[in-house]
A and B are shown apart, each in its own frame.
Chain A
Amino acid sequence: MSKQQAIRKTSDERVFDAIVYAIAAVIIIIVLYPLLFIVSASFSDPAKVLNGEVWLLPKGVSLEAYTNILQNDKIWTGYRNTIVYTVVGTLINIIMTILAAYPLSRPDLPGRGAIMVLITLTMFLGGGLIPTYLLVKDLGMVNTMWALIVPGAIATYNLIVMRTYFQTSIPWELQEAAHMDGCSNWRLLFSVILPLSKPILAVMVLFYAVGHWNSYFSALIYIRDEALHPLQLVLREILMISQSAAVEGGSVGLEDQILLAESIKFAVIIVSTLPVLIMYPFVQRHFVKGVMIGSIKG
């Protein structure tokens, strides 16, 4: 009796496991297929892609799309601008976030509670798009890179994550001992706290950098000068042009542009996404920790 039951149970378990793995496999295919398709299409003959001949593997392998991109000035300018915005922006993000997170992590800071309330409130209250736009405009940042960097200098969520990390992962005794030895707060920050915070710093750099790399909307609002356009705006032009032309009935002049856009579409997706994906494996193992810390209340 009991043996029979045990056998039934294990076969039940096996069925359950099989279903679990099957679902997981389907999910992996659904997530990966579009990505693999884009990669294959970027290496294929554009005509074959347009005819729907490419399913998974490249057909009529050609590097034409990539060589086309290399000759496109707009993409180069976009690339250069985005790199500048990402590097400067992330640097400012990290400095500002540390400057806020460290003092607020100190239990002995008078007025800490009030400042935290002031900061946390901004997650739920805001002036919205128009007042923010007018403010940035009044500050004279329109059409400069600062409009893309300064208004987003701190992400409140990241600030709370970092503060929580300082509080929970760095023993307070260590800070106290340093204080006893006459260590100033600045020195404490640079020679004790930050060296112990590398995992969270890595995650923050990734989050902020990816944010800058991928953002298009602030540039859409604030940047008029084409020479200052970031990569995503250039991309938007290339990727959306055939779409809108198809919808609104393309004129003759657009025809060439559409063909060009069609042929470099896939390659441009790859080229613009690559840097993020290269960065990804280096910090990927810290994700769970970073996100978990963020979920802790207080």
Chain B
Amino acid sequence: MKSAQEGAAALSHIQPKRGSSLLRNIAKRYDLYLMLLLPIAWYLIFHYGPLYGLQIAFKNFNPAKGIIGSPWEGFGHFERFFNSYYFWRLLWNTVSINLFSLLIAFPVPIMLALLVNEIRSKTFSKWLQNITYIPHFISVVVIVGILNVFLSPTGPINMLIETFGGTSIRFLEVAGWFKTIFISSNIWQNMGWQSIIYIAALSGVNPQLYEAAKMDGASRLRRIWHVSLPGIAPVIVILLILDIGHFMNVGFEKILLMQNNLNLESSDVISTFVYTTGILKGEYSYTAAIGLFNSVINLILLLMVNRFARKTSETSLW
């Protein structure tokens, strides 16, 4: 990083700093722009293009007339959504699944990283890490397939329950179990992978701090609390902000696979609703409005949390 800046300084020293020099600079590096041409075009089309298309949320989109030709509708689609009987169910499911994930799943990788950091045998800690990474690379389809097998009436979990004298539970068909299963299987799949970043941050903590704490008579737990945790606090804050930035976008590919008519009561979230109503039933304008509502909440949350973090901990995304 440093050498790059020095290099830039050295270069700007060679070139005269004048208004017309910008054009000359650009001309000189035309091949760099040539490289960028395709990626920038791609960003404009596939990221900014849909932003342009979002206007259909305020229109009555008619495929024959196109985005521009379709008549304006105003906030009608939003009103219809807010007044529909499933609005509160969708909102509650979306918010609660995310909130519980944040409260329960977010701390797990941090604890795992702290645990890995306390293991003295290098080989064992490597094994632990590599094993816990594996589920991250398994597809959601397979994960949900495994869940179906494990939680079926004849699966290992129910066998275990029956061995201890309980009655088997049809986990995937009971709405009350949906969130527990969804979140705990997410933890199972991702805790190892998400802990990498904390483990990396922990390896950067100055060892002298541990020595000093040890000299002062701090126990292992106290050293974790007073040295390890503060050492990775900035990383925790950044990841928390990023997570909240995606607050309303639960892993809906997985929810869609886990969903059935019996657990719909607690598995129906905004994004799955947008898919089933928008793509499958073709109500494009209506669901584009719902998607926009979702994104706006996300953005507001992100801005709020980032501001809060900047004020309180001096760590923020920008």
Q: Which residues of A contact B (CB under 8 A)?
A: 12-13, 16-17, 20-21, 23-24, 27-28, 30-32, 34-35, 37-38, 41, 50-52, 55, 96, 99-100, 102-104, 106-111, 115, 118-119, 122, 124-135, 150-151, 153-154, 167-168, 171-173, 175-176, 184-186, 189, 210, 213-217, 221, 232, 235-236, 239-240, 242-244, 246-248, 265-266, 269, 272-273, 276-277, 280, 284, 287-288, 291-292, 294-295, 297
Question: In angstroms, how far is the closest chain A Cβ from the Cβ of B292?
Answer: 7
Within 8 A of A (CB), among B109-163: 112, 115-116, 118-120, 124, 127-128, 130-135, 137-142, 144-146, 148-150, 152, 154-156, 158-159
Docked-complex contact B288 and A131, CB < 8 angstroms: yes
Query: How far apart sit A103 and B35, CA to CA, in the bound complex (Å)?
Result: 7
Residues in B with CB closer than 8 Å to A32 are: 131
Residues in A with CB closer than 8 Å to B188 are: 30-31, 34
Assuming the contacts A16-B220, A110-B22, A172-B4, asked whether A27 and B47 have C-beta atoms less than 8 A apart, the reply is no
B64 interface contact, C-beta 8 A: no
In-complex Cβ contact of A154 among B42, B51, B67 (8 A): B42
Docked-complex contact B139 and A214, CB < 8 angstroms: yes
Query: How far apart sit A216 and B54, CA to CA, in the bound complex (Å)?
Result: 25
Assuming the contacts A107-B8, A186-B31, asked whether A96 and B133 have C-beta atoms less than 8 A apart, the reply is no
Docked-complex contact B137 and A128, CB < 8 angstroms: no
Docked-complex contact A103 and B154, CB < 8 angstroms: no
Which residue of chain B lies nearest to A210 when distances are taken between CB atoms in the complex? Answer: B137
Assuming the contacts A276-B137, A291-B197, asked whether A128 and B25 have C-beta atoms less than 8 A apart, the reply is no
Interface of A is mostly: helix
Query: How far apart sit A215 and B7, CA to CA, in the bound complex (Å)?
Result: 42
Docked-complex contact A130 and B284, CB < 8 angstroms: yes
B93 interface contact, C-beta 8 A: no
Query: How far apart sit A118 and B10, CA to CA, in the bound complex (Å)?
Result: 27
In-complex Cβ contact of B4 among A31, A107, A189, A269 (8 A): A107
Docked-complex contact B47 and A126, CB < 8 angstroms: yes
In-complex Cβ contact of B288 among A96, A128, A189 (8 A): A128
Query: How far apart sit A27 and B118, CA to CA, in the bound complex (Å)?
Result: 15
B215 interface contact, C-beta 8 A: no
Instruction: Jot down 20 A-B pairs with beta carbons below 8 A, ordered by A.
Output: A23-B115, A27-B115, A27-B128, A31-B135, A34-B146, A34-B150, A52-B156, A107-B7, A108-B25, A124-B299, A124-B302, A130-B53, A130-B284, A133-B278, A134-B56, A167-B4, A215-B139, A217-B253, A236-B141, A276-B137
B26 interface contact, C-beta 8 A: yes
Residues in B with CB closer than 8 Å to A111 are: 26
Residues in A with CB closer than 8 Å to B287 are: 129-130
For the complex of A and B, the 6 pairs showing the least CB-CB separation, nearest first, are A127-B50, A131-B53, A128-B291, A214-B139, A239-B145, A100-B39
Docked-complex contact B140 and A216, CB < 8 angstroms: yes
Query: How far apart sit A151 and B45, CA to CA, in the bound complex (Å)?
Result: 9
11 additional A-B residue pairs with CB within 8 Å, beyond A35-B134, A102-B32, A118-B43: A17-B118, A27-B115, A31-B131, A51-B154, A109-B29, A122-B48, A131-B49, A132-B53, A167-B4, A240-B144, A247-B260
Which residue of chain A lies nearest to B111 when distances are taken between CB atoms in the complex? Answer: A23
In-complex Cβ contact of B196 among A37, A236, A288 (8 A): A288
In-complex Cβ contact of A20 among B12, B35, B47, B118 (8 A): B118
Within 8 A of A (CB), among B154-192: 154-156, 158-159, 172-173, 188, 192
B3 interface contact, C-beta 8 A: yes
Interface residue tally for chain B (C-beta within 8 Å) = 106
Query: How far apart sit A146 and B154, CA to CA, in the bound complex (Å)?
Result: 42
In-complex Cβ contact of B253 among A131, A184, A216 (8 A): A216
Residues in B with CB closer than 8 Å to A272 are: 139, 142
Residues in A with CB closer than 8 Å to B260 are: 243-244, 247
Query: How far apart sit A184 and B188, CA to CA, in the bound complex (Å)?
Result: 49
Residues in A with CB closer than 8 Å to B48 are: 122
Residues in B with CB closer than 8 Å to A242 are: 148
Which residue of chain B lies nearest to A100 when distances are taken between CB atoms in the complex? Answer: B39
Tally of A-B residue pairs with Cβ under 8 A? Answer: 281
Docked-complex contact B142 and A185, CB < 8 angstroms: no
Assuming the contacts A103-B33, A108-B8, A176-B10, asked whether A126 and B154 have C-beta atoms less than 8 A apart, the reply is no
Residues in A with CB closer than 8 Å to B221 are: 16
In-complex Cβ contact of A167 among B1, B52, B54, B149 (8 A): B1
Question: In angstroms, how far is the closest chain A Cβ from the Cβ of B16?
Answer: 14
B97 interface contact, C-beta 8 A: no
Assuming the contacts A176-B7, A292-B200, asked whether A124 and B245 have C-beta atoms less than 8 A apart, the reply is yes
Query: How far apart sit A68 and B292, CA to CA, in the bound complex (Å)?
Result: 46
Residues in B with CB closer than 8 Å to A294 are: 197
B208 interface contact, C-beta 8 A: no
Question: In angstroms, how far is the closest chain A Cβ from the Cβ of B172?
Answer: 7
Docked-complex contact B43 and A119, CB < 8 angstroms: yes
Docked-complex contact B35 and A185, CB < 8 angstroms: yes
Docked-complex contact B197 and A295, CB < 8 angstroms: yes
Residues in B with CB closer than 8 Å to A186 are: 31, 35
In-complex Cβ contact of B39 among A96, A235, A243 (8 A): A96
In-complex Cβ contact of A288 among B132, B172, B200, B295 (8 A): B200
Docked-complex contact B274 and A130, CB < 8 angstroms: yes
Residues in A with CB closer than 8 Å to B22 are: 110
Docked-complex contact B36 and A20, CB < 8 angstroms: no
Question: In angstroms, how far is the closest chain A Cβ from the Cβ of B204?
Answer: 9
Docked-complex contact A17 and B120, CB < 8 angstroms: yes
Which residue of chain A lies nearest to B289 when distances are taken between CB atoms in the complex? Answer: A130
Residues in A with CB closer than 8 Å to B7 are: 107-108, 172-173, 175-176
Residues in A with CB closer than 8 Å to B238 are: 295, 297
Docked-complex contact B36 and A103, CB < 8 angstroms: yes
